[in-house]
């Protein structure tokens, strides 16, 4: 059977999942962190039931070692090695796949799907990578400066090492290209849209696309007949209204910085306040963007951590942690309420991503505040992590669903669909 690799390249990281297709069986998954440093962290999980546990932690020694995972069936390879760049990271990863017996030859990998954050208005679906496509991804770097350059770097590195494999770009923004203009346009001079593409593009589209389809299956209905609000709540967070099977509105904007409060991103802020602070702090444009992207959100408000788990642990004794949690919940509730009004109702609320899949108290706080439009939480059903399950009561007018996202599977499926 052919094998397809789903890739998410960051500025200093490389995440991947190798799947047997079309069986959709995960063979291996891994991450290389701290690329560009002498102590890059490599983790590869493979064998049976490897998706049962997320990749966490790394080896503290310099020697290769393989440990059996807690399910007793899968295996884990961990190492700390010097890796200078993405090209070297990919070469190391592919070599390890052969060394560990996961593949016998690179030629077994017939397709590589790459997550690309910004596709602008050029891409409303996944496409085979050509020189022209790659040039457009480069040109869209200003739309997602933290992501697109790294995504393009990953594409080029894989093309060099696997020249015969089909290379496919899967865009976070493509799912949101169905939004009506009343939802994607800003109230700016229209010429800025026609000249510069100044509009809302959204993000996390691959995740919203996956969980909305799973929600329809769980509810036993056609997706086109449902009104859904999908909550992708992780370090990056976005809320999407899905109507008639399409993205109708979404919280992230021109870039992934806008919308709800996130781990380190500010979300929605009055632009005049940004200018006010920038002048008084004497910050350059890049420095101000760094504050908004990396020093704000949960971290900025709490002053102690960007991790929701840390904040929940100390919320009873730390006022800033409690405030950060409350602001996060408040911003989610505002967007959900807005989208219920925009769509004139909702059939189900869907939780996904790191916080959405794993935080029992955060889901409860959100659903309890949404009871006014008919959603009721079943506390016993909600007491789970990372399972696909309905968490609302049987008499709830609006369903609440927990659906672990699987962007890698969607990427692999898109690659398969383009192989014909």
pLDDT at 94: 87
Write out the catalytic residue numbers: 172
Tell me whether the omega of the peptide bond preceding residue 22 falls within 30 degrees of 0, making it cis.
yes
Q: Tell me the average pLDDT of the chain.
A: 89
Q: CB–CB of 391/363 below 8 Å?
A: yes
pLDDT at 389: 95
Confidence of residue 147 (pLDDT cuts 50, 70, 90): confident
Asked if the model's pLDDT at residue 151 lies above 50, the reply is yes
Q: CB–CB of 344/229 below 8 Å?
A: no
Q: 205-402 sits in which CATH class?
A: alpha beta
Q: How many residues does the chain have?
A: 420
DSSP run (H or E) holding 214:
helix 205-219
Q: What is the mean pLDDT of residues 269-292?
A: 95
Q: What is the mean pLDDT of residues 140-168?
A: 86
Where is the binding site for Mg(2+), in residues? Answer: 8, 407
pLDDT at 280: 97
Where is the binding site for substrate, in residues? Answer: 115
244: DSSP letter: T
Q: Nearest to residue 93, comparing CAs of 157, 25, 22?
A: 157
Cα distances (angstroms) measured from residue 370 to each of 128, 156, 349, 353, 377? 42, 46, 10, 20, 10
Distance CA 9, CA 182 (A): 33
Q: What is the number of other CB atoms lying within 10 angstroms of the CB of residue 268?
A: 14
Where is the binding site for ATP, in residues? Answer: 15, 232-236, 307-309, 354-358
Where is the binding site, in residues? Answer: 8, 15, 115, 232-236, 307-309, 354-358, 407
Domain 2-171 matches domain 205-402 at the CATH topology level: yes
Confidence of residue 1 (pLDDT cuts 50, 70, 90): low
Q: What is the pLDDT of residues 37-75, one digit of tens each?
A: 888 888 888 875 444 443 333 233 334 444 444 445 678
Q: 2-171 sits in which CATH class?
A: alpha beta
Q: CB–CB of 241/342 below 8 Å?
A: yes
Higher pLDDT, 334 or 72: 334
- Percent of residues, the chain, with pLDDT higher than 90: 62
- Average the pLDDT over each of 56-70, 365-379, 404-418 and give the range with the smallest value: 56-70
Q: Which residues pair with 247 in a beta bridge?
A: 242
pLDDT at 11: 67
Distance between terminal CA atoms of the chain? 15
Burial class (CB in 10 A: 0-12, 13-18, 19+), 394: exposed
- Average the pLDDT over each of 107-111, 274-278, 399-403 and give the range with the smallest value: 107-111
Q: What is the mean pLDDT of residues 247-261?
A: 94
Q: CB–CB of 235/264 below 8 Å?
A: yes
| Per-domain boundaries in the chain | 2-171, 205-402
Asked if the model's pLDDT at residue 394 lies above 80, the reply is yes
């Amino acid at each position: 059977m052919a094998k397809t690799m789903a890739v998410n390249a960051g500025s200093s990281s490389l995440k991947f999942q190798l799947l047997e297709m079309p069986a959709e069986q995960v063979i291996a998954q891994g991450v290389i962190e701290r690329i560009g440093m002498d102590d890059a962290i490599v983790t590869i999980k493979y064998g049976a039931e490897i998706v049962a546990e997320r990749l966490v932690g790394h080896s503290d020694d310099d020697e290769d070692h393989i440990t059996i995972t807690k399910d007793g069936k899968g295996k884990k390879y961990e190492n700390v090695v010097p890796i200078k760049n993405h090209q070297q990271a990919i070469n190391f990863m592919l070599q390890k796949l052969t060394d560990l017996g996961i593949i016998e030859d690179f030629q077994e990998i017939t397709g590589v799907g790459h997550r690309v954050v910004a596709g602008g208005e050029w891409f409303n679906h996944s496409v085979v990578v050509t020189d022209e496509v790659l040039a457009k991804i480069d040109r869209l770097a200003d739309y997602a400066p933290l992501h697109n350059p790294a995504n393009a770097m990953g594409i080029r590195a894989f093309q060099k090492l696997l020249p015969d494999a089909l290379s496919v770009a899967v865009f976070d923004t493509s799912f949101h290209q169905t939004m009506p203009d009343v939802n994607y346009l800003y109230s700016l001079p229209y010429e800025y849209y026609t000249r510069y593409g100044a509009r809302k593009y959204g993000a996390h589209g691959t995740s919203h696309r996956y969980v909305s389809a799973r929600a329809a299956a769980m509810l036993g209905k056609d997706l086109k007949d449902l009104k859904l609000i999908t909550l992708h709540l992780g370090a990056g967070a976005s809320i999407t209204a899905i109507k008639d099977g399409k993205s109708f509105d979404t919280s992230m904007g021109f870039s992934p910085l806008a919308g709800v409060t996130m781990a380190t991103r500010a979300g929605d802020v009055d632009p005049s306040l940004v200018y006010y602070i920038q002048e008084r702090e004497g910050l350059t444009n890049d420095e101000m963007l760094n504050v908004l992207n990396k020093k704000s959100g949960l971290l900025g408000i709490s002053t102690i951590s960007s991790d929701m788990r840390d904040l929940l642990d100390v919320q009873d004794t730390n006022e800033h942690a409690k405030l950060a949690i409350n602001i996060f919940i408040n911003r989610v509730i505002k967007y959900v309420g807005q989208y219920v009004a925009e769509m004139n109702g909702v059939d189900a609320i869907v939780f996904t991503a790191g916080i959405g899949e794993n935080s029992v108290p955060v889901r409860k706080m959100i659903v309890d505040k949404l009871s006014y439009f008919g959603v009721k939480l079943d506390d016993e059903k909600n007491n789970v992590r990372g399972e696909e399950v309905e968490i609302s009561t049987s008499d709830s007018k609006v369903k609440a669903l927990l659906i672990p996202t699987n962007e890698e599977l969607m990427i692999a499926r898109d690659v398969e669909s383009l192989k014909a």
